[in-house]
Amino acid sequence: MTRSFATARLSVDPVTAVDLPFLVGLWSDTRVVRMLGGPRSVEQVERMLDEAIRHWQVHGFGRWVIRRAGVPLGTVKLATCRVLGRDEVELGCALAPGATATPLRRAVVRYLSRRMWPRCPRSWPSR
């Protein structure tokens, strides 16, 4: 399966250790995280990055960094979770101030519909 993908304007790649400085800036910006549980410390972001890399290794999908012309705009993630005792996949994003979510969501949904549905819990496509 291809882990990276692109649209006419965006490139989307799995997070790596190289992304740490961007992620620290993103997750410490109160404008970004006010609805996502508040700012994270450097140590918290390092743990999140380690977890995201492990999630990729275990599940083959996870958190991506979205870029336009090489400039990071934010992250989007697919993460396994349990909801009411069932395996589910969560879709989430964190965008730098000024980034627009709609094209990012469209790109991710297109990717999912082509690549990910077979890998997700059986109940997910019907929702």
Domains in the chain, start-ordered, CATH in brackets?
Answer: 5-121 (3.40.630.30)
pTM confidence score? 0.80
Distance from C-alpha of 13 to C-alpha of 66, rounded to nearest angstrom: 7
Vertex 12: Cα angle to 110 and 92 (nearest 5): 70
pLDDT bucket at 6, cuts 50 / 70 / 90:
confident
Half-sphere exposure for 99 (CA within 13 Å, toward CB): 24
Q: How many CB atoms lie within 10 A of CB 25?
A: 13
DSSP state of 20: H
- Across the range 38-44, mean pLDDT stands at 96
Predicted pLDDT at 120:
52
Question: Which range (34-38, 56-60, 70-74, 104-108) has the least confidence?
Answer: 104-108
